[in-house]
Amino acid sequence: MKPCSFSHISLWVFVGFYLASLAFPSVVQAYSADDELAAQNNNSVKASAEPENILNNKVPLPINARILSLLSLVQQNDQKNTVQVTGVLLQLEEINSTFNAAEQYLIFLIHGLIEHHAQQDKQAIAWLEKTLNLRDEIPEKQLYLPEFSEVNLIFARSFSALGDFKQAFDYKKKYIRNGYQYFEGTRADKVKELNITYATDQKIKQNELLANQNKIKRLKIIAAENKKFAQQRNILILVITVIVFFILLLRQIKVRKKLKYLAKVDSLTNLYNRRTLFEKGAESVDIAVNEKQSLSVILLDIDFFKNINDNYGHDIGDEVIIIIAELGSETMRSRDLFARLGGEEFAGILPGVGCAEAKAIAERLREKVASKDWSEFNIKEQLTVCIGVACLEQVEPNFDALLNAADIAMYYAKANGRNRVYQFNDESQNYND
Ligand SMILES: Nc1nc2c(ncn2[C@@H]2O[C@H](COP(=O)(O)OP(=O)(O)OP(=O)(O)O)[C@@H](O)[C@H]2O)c(=O)[nH]1
């Protein structure tokens, strides 16, 4: 009963002391200064101020798992377990003689516990005292662990059982202080760990935020590039469309110009055609009338041209027409106009030229044709032309009248033997086929 009642009282004392130490750590320090375990207490108080330094200064020694399970079994204070533990412990000690300090410490504790449970508290204390020599070899951090700290509790119980309450009180106090130190150290570790986790989480979140911001930036850049690309593409399409439009417009203008030109010229000889002849003729008459200038017209028809076609073919006939056109053009002055009236008929408009001069020009042309060598076309006959000449002062002042007068003169020349130039006059005007 004695140990029991002591345990009861001492438990309340220790609980009170523990709570006080939590609430007033300075009181604990003051009390500890007078204690015979001052040195150790100083360390403990120091540890309470900086618990993480004490608990983290060295790496804990490894512990054989079987030793821990034996300790756990013997703590249960079961007679059956105790016998089993004693046997296994002996085996273990026989097999392995090289335990580290921490393992040896726990083995001494197990022995002490066994003796304490067997109420052999003197032997228990003897075993437990062996642990004191090992304390310097074990990291301080490890000594604060509950299984190591239990040595103090068993000490206290054994001393209490032997009636040495002073020792029992001191060891119990030490046990509670160790528990407090362990709790504080663990709490500091936990706080540190939580701080690290929090800082890591913050860092991860910041990184995620930065990554998202970068992603948004990249997306914005891509969107801007796409927009720029779309604008450039649209500009390119516009430029190409405008270029194509201008090319088509230029081609259209060119085609229209060509059509206009083709509408004006004769495709075989490249001379102005009948339509242009009449347009230019009317203009020339107007100018001549307005400016009171001379104007003459000549009308040329190839003699017996049908025979050329019949004897040498239509292609040779075309060649003859082309040659006559060239001879007519080269005989004209730059301001004159020589055109193909149709078939084998040609007309020349000679501005500023009177009747006599026009007849002389026509005569030169007739001679050129008459003296032309046609052997390159295998034409044996000598080709000739008839030319009728008319001038403005002889007729009504319009181009139809002028051309008609030249036509009459040309027919007069035909009627009078061909290869001739006739000028329109009273005689030719009266000519009747
Ligand atoms: N090769 C060729 N022949 C043409 C062309 N245009 C008209 N002719 C021919 O020219 C000939 C004209 O014949 P005619 O009107 O009888 O006159 P001609 O034979 O010259 O006789 P005269 O004028 O009386 O001397 C016809 O045979 C037409 O077919 C042409 O562009 N090329």
More confident residue, 183 or 27: 183
Do 138 and 285 belong to one domain? Answer: no
Distance (Å, rounded) from C-alpha 109 to C-alpha 134? 12
Residues 160 and 297 in one domain: no
In DSSP notation, 37-75 reads THHHHHHHHHHHHSHHHHHTSSPPPP--HHHHHHHHHHH
Query: What is the distance between the alpha carbons of residues 110 and 320, in angstroms, rounded to a whole number?
Result: 143
Average pLDDT of span 225-243: 95
Residues 325 and 185 in one domain: no
pLDDT band at 189 (very low <50, low <70, confident <90, very high): confident
In a domain? residue 239:
no
Looking at the structure, do residues 17 and 129 belong to the same domain, yes or no?
Answer: yes
Residue 88: give the domain boundaries: 2-194
Q: Distance, CA 307 to ligand 1 centroid (Å)?
A: 8
CATH number at residue 346: 3.30.70.270
* DSSP code at position 393: G
Judged against a pLDDT cut of 60, whether residue 47 lies above it is answered with: no
Question: Are 284 and 174 within one domain?
Answer: no
Atom of ligand 1 at shortest range from CA of 320: 1
- Establish whether residue 314 lines the binding site of ligand 1, counting it when its CB lies within 6 angstroms of any ligand atom: yes
Distance 384 CA to ligand 1 centre (A): 13
39 and 151 inside one domain: yes
Q: What is the pLDDT of residue 426?
A: 54
Higher pLDDT, 179 or 317: 317
Q: Is the pLDDT of residue 236 over 60?
A: yes
Residue after which a domain boundary falls, among 144, 177, 194: 194
CA-proximal residue: ligand 1, atom 31 (nearest): 343
- Taking CA atoms only, the protein residue closest to ligand 1 atom 27 is 306
Dihedral sign from CA coordinates of 120, 125, 131, 133: negative
Comparing CA positions, the residue from 289, 283, 264 lying closest to residue 349 is 283
pLDDT confidence of residue 87: 86
**What is the count of structural domains for the chain?**
2
- Confirm or reject: Cβ of 309 under 6 Å from ligand 1: yes
Mean pLDDT to the nearest integer, 80-97? 82
Does residue 301 have its Cβ closer than 6 Å to ligand 1? yes
- Residue 422, beta-bridge partner list: 388
Instruction: Please check whether residues 182 and 278 belong to one and the same domain.
Output: no
Backbone angle region of 417, left / alpha / beta, with phi > 0 → left and psi within -120 to 50 → alpha: left
Is any atom of ligand 1 closer than 6 Å to the C-beta of 397? Answer: no
Query: Does the C-beta of 215 come closer than 6 Å to ligand 1?
Result: no
Assess whether the C-beta atom of 304 lies below 6 angstroms from ligand 1. yes
CA 155 to chain centre: 78
Position 218 in a domain: no
285 and 183 share one domain = no
Ligand 1 within 6 A of CB of 417: no
* Sequence-separated (6 or more) residues with CB below 8 Å from residue 118: 82
Indicate whether 38 and 180 sit together in one domain.
Answer: yes
Intra-chain end-to-end CA distance of the chain, in Å: 178
Residue 427 has pLDDT above 70, yes or no: no
Of 194, 227, 256, the domain-final residue:
194
In a domain? residue 279: yes
Confidence of residue 429 (pLDDT cuts 50, 70, 90): low
Q: pLDDT over 90 for what percent of the chain? A: 72
Any atom of ligand 1 within 6 Å of the Cβ of 343? yes
Domain annotation covers residue 311: yes
Dihedral (CA of 52, 57, 63, 68) sign: negative
Taking all residues of the chain, what is their mean pLDDT, rounded to a whole number? 86
Q: Which residue among 139, 161, 194 closes a domain? A: 194
Are the CB atoms for 105 and 140 separated by under 8 Å? no
- What is the side-by-side order of every strand in the sheet holding 385-391? 337-342, 345-351, 295-302, 385-391, 421-423
In a domain, 25, yes or no: yes
Instruction: Categorize the per-residue pLDDT at 34 as very low, low, confident or very high, splitting at 50, 70 and 90.
Output: very low
Residue 228: both structure tokens together: 């720029």
Say if 208 falls within a structural domain.
no
Rounded average pLDDT over 279-298: 97
Going by pLDDT thresholds of 50, 70 and 90, the confidence category of residue 55 is very low
The model's pLDDT over 115-131, given as tens digits with 9 standing for 90+, comes to: 999 999 999 999 999 99
Q: For ligand 1, what atom is nearest to the CA of residue 315? A: 1
Ligand 1 atom with least separation from CA of 314: 1
Q: Rounded to an integer, what distance in angstroms lies between the CA atom of residue 312 and that of residue 201?
A: 110
Same domain, yes or no: 73 and 182: yes
184 φ/ψ angles, rounded to the nearest 5 degrees: -65, -45
Ligand 1 center–CA 317 separation, angstroms: 9
Q: Is 347 helix (H, G, I), strand (E, B) or coil?
A: strand
Nearest-atom number in ligand 1 for the CA of 342 is 6
The mean pLDDT value for 35-54 works out to 42
CB 387 within 8 A of CB 416: no
- Residue closest via CA to ligand 1's atom 14 equals 306
Number of residues assigned to the chain = 433
- Could you tell me if 109 and 157 are in contact, meaning their C-beta atoms sit under 8 angstroms apart? no
Structure tokens at 63: 């512990």
- 114/158 Cα distance (integer angstroms): 12
Under the banding of pLDDT at 50, 70 and 90, the label for residue 57 is: low
Q: Band of the pLDDT at 288, cuts 50, 70, 90?
A: very high
**Cβ–ligand 1 contact at 161 (below 6 Å):** no
ipTM topping 0.90: yes
* Judgement on whether residues 184 and 285 belong to the same structural domain of the protein: no
The predicted pLDDT at position 54 comes to: 45
Is residue 257 situated within a structural domain?
no
The answer to the question of residue 326 being in a domain is yes
